[in-house]
Amino acid sequence: MSSQYHSAIHLFSTAVPRSSFSSSNNTRPLPPLSFPSGVWLYGPKDKQDSFHAHTRCSAIFKPRTQEYADLFHQQNGLPLINWHRDFVLEDHTEEDAAKVSVAKEINEHVKTIKAMLDMMEDGEISISAYDTAWVALVEDINGSGLPQFPSSLRWIANNQLPDGSWGDAEIFLAHDRLINTLACVVALKSWNLHQEKCEKGMLFFRDNLCKLEDENDEHMPIGFEVAFPSLLEIAKKLDIAVPYDSPALREIYARRNLKLTRIPKDIMHNVPTTLLHSLEGMPGLEWKKLLKLQSQDGSFLFSPSSTAFALSQTKDKNCMEYLNKAVQRFEGGVPNVYPVDLFEHIWAVDRLQRLGISRYFESQINECVNYIHRYWTEDGICWARNSEVHDIDDTAMGFRILRLNGHRVSADVFKHFEKGGEFFCFAGQSTAAVTGMFNLYRASQILFPGEKILENAKDFSSKFLREKQAANELLDKWLITKDLPGEVGFALEIPWYANLPRVESRFYIEQYGGEDDIWIGKTLYRMPYVNNNEYLQLAKLDYNNCQALHRLEWADFQKMQSERFRDKQKNPSLLLFLGCSHRVSSRKGPVSGLHGLKLQYCSRLSTPISIRIKATVVLRGELSFMNSVPVLALMEGGRVQRRQGRNSLSY
């Protein structure tokens, strides 16, 4: 029996102590998960035949101080808790008051999140200094010689960071800071504005240029190797002092030349491709042809910088309308991509579900799902509605959510992202993103019999992820998140059909970074309705609240059974298991039956099982399914056997 299941058990004994809650707006930390020796940590794992599973619900309403010091001990340097069987809860008056306080706090978070979800439109997204600079460069299309968007110049002047750079203030990535800073200096210098800000910006640029050599290529912004040299050439014309002979810049120019040779100019001028998103870095464009490939909203693949460059070259009224709308919406600044409506609707639903708090927002989630379905196409979707370019990431996530919410969508949509047995996110991509393959893997498990394309997608994506996992290369080019290796490892080891929602939530609460998670586009950006601390705080409160309820239910069950079988000395744990076993054997198929067993048993279990249950539960299904079920760890010495063509779970 794999030791991985120990970790699932300890989830039920890890709650958020009340002492960790404060009145501040900071994210409330969870205590570290307690893993016994040799436990599976989403990497290579040792096999073992038997083990002892110790479980205990421990939702705590009051801070624990020195009086409980004897309950704690260390195992392999990690804190574990030994709850005494005669442990007594606090005074009921204090407990009831705590319950009221928790319920009130939960309700406040629910109201805040509902307000967010109700305000979803084209997408809430942070502003990109790089894209704003390209918009600020546009000269008045009527020929006055003045800036077309003076509010964008004001935004640049007002948002320089103390160190002289522009970009995300909370995280430093050299590629992001340097391209943002150079773009803003170029914009200000072009209009002879704020000389002191320009000098401070270039001082930062020169001091940090060497850091490009040490940074991971996976975190390079989209199209950096083409867009950055384009800015350098403009800077040279403006007599901006740049160390053009530095090794870092020579390497970037080499990459640019290589990439430009690979760009199929004949295709990009006739068929919508992702190249439309980065026109500002490309020479020799045929605008008459490209204008026929505009999106319905007048943009070039929803990119403000690409559209601003097109406007400066063509004075196209549709480009102008798109940029006017974006500049007004964000009060001078513009994001790196807009709109992001489908992206926001899909990922918000996914985060709420994985955190275990979706039941509070059923009507809002239904509206999101209907919105996704409204713009679903047989060819797939991308991050914004009505796009002629589609990607596997948004398509896989949308497919999964639609199927799980009762919408009939065909798996044939993935045929558009498969060639020669391999799956890709975009046609012509250079490298595959880890999160793109991760979301394809998750979607591939929501399949019906005979859907060969999903079986192939599952095989390909799981192989890709396991290879990245083995090489310790689970870095993503689209997202910087708290624990992507943990998310991938959990999904690979516990398939969707064998997963316990509360176990997944407990893990994901630990993995979800809240507002610290950041996305990578042309620059770093944030999606506040997808990644925020409100979701995280509610998830922690809700998880502890549920654990407290489970603990009370278990106490009631023990009391009821001890009174009912007072003279027979029956073990409550054995009685509960046998009852669940009967439920399993009376159901058809392993998914529904074993899922019912897990939910009943795990939700109530709070005492160690020290008995060896001599019983065999015959289950119909795949052996691979049996190997993945975390409930096996609830019993001592559980193992899977194959007898006479049937899978059996023996104790």
Tokens of 504: 């997944």
- Write down the pLDDT at residue 650: 32
Tokens of 311: 């406007």
Residue 462 has pLDDT above 60, yes or no: yes
Tokens of 621: 């299904």
Cα(407)–Cα(373) distance, integer angstroms = 8
* Residue 374: Cβ within 10 Å count: 9
Residue 65 has pLDDT above 50, yes or no: no
Q: Which amino acid is at 636?
A: E
- Write down the pLDDT at residue 94: 64
Residue 619 has pLDDT above 50, yes or no: no
Q: What is the mean pLDDT of residues 515-529?
A: 97
DSSP 414-462: GGGGEETTEE-SSTT-SS--HHHHHHHHHHHTS--TT-HHHHHHHHHHH
Exposed (0-12), middle (13-18) or buried (19+): which is 75, by Cβ within 10 Å? exposed
Higher pLDDT, 579 or 494: 494
Q: What is the mean pLDDT of residues 153-170?
A: 97
- Write down the pLDDT at residue 603: 40
Higher pLDDT, 373 or 27: 373
DSSP 114-138: HHHHHT-SS-----BHHHHHHHHTP
The top-scoring range by mean pLDDT among 64-78, 232-246, 306-320 is: 306-320
- Write down the pLDDT at residue 572: 61
Cα(534)–Cα(111) distance, integer angstroms = 10
pLDDT in tens, 359-415: 999 999 999 999 999 999 999 999 999 999 999 999 999 999 999 999 999 999 999
pLDDT band at 426 (very low <50, low <70, confident <90, very high): confident
Strands of the sheet containing 524-525, edge to edge, are: 479-480, 518-520, 524-525
Domains annotated on the chain, with CATH = 4-104+541-650 (no CATH), 129-329 (1.50.10.160), 341-531 (1.50.10.130)
Residue 240 has pLDDT above 50, yes or no: yes
pLDDT band at 645 (very low <50, low <70, confident <90, very high): very low
Residue 541 has pLDDT above 60, yes or no: yes
- Write down the pLDDT at residue 15: 57
Q: Are 322 and 297 in contact (CB under 8 A)?
A: yes
In whole angstroms, what separates CA 5 from the centre of its chain? 24
- Provide φ and ψ at 214, rounded to 5°: -100, -5
Query: Where do the DSSP E strands lie in 271-389?
Result: none
Residue 467 has pLDDT above 60, yes or no: yes
Exposed (0-12), middle (13-18) or buried (19+): which is 154, by Cβ within 10 Å? middle
Cα(10)–Cα(362) distance, integer angstroms = 30
Task: Say whether 24 sits in a helix, a strand or coil.
Answer: coil
- Provide φ and ψ at 637, rounded to 5°: 75, 20
Q: What is the mean pLDDT of residues 23-27?
A: 41
pLDDT band at 574 (very low <50, low <70, confident <90, very high): low
Q: What is the mean pLDDT of residues 543-567?
A: 84
Task: Say whether 366 sits in a helix, a strand or coil.
Answer: helix
Nearest to 512 by CA among 487, 478, 529: 487
Residue 421 CB partners (closer than 8 Å, separation 6+): 456, 460
- Provide φ and ψ at 646, rounded to 5°: -120, 150
Q: What is the mean pLDDT of residues 238-244?
A: 93
- Write down the pLDDT at residue 480: 94
Query: To which H or E segment does residue 401 belong?
Result: helix 392-404
Residue 3 has pLDDT above 70, yes or no: no
Residue 620 has pLDDT above 90, yes or no: no
Cα(217)–Cα(477) distance, integer angstroms = 8
pLDDT in tens, 488-506: 999 999 999 898 899 999 9
The mean pLDDT of the chain is: 79
Residue 547 has pLDDT above 70, yes or no: yes
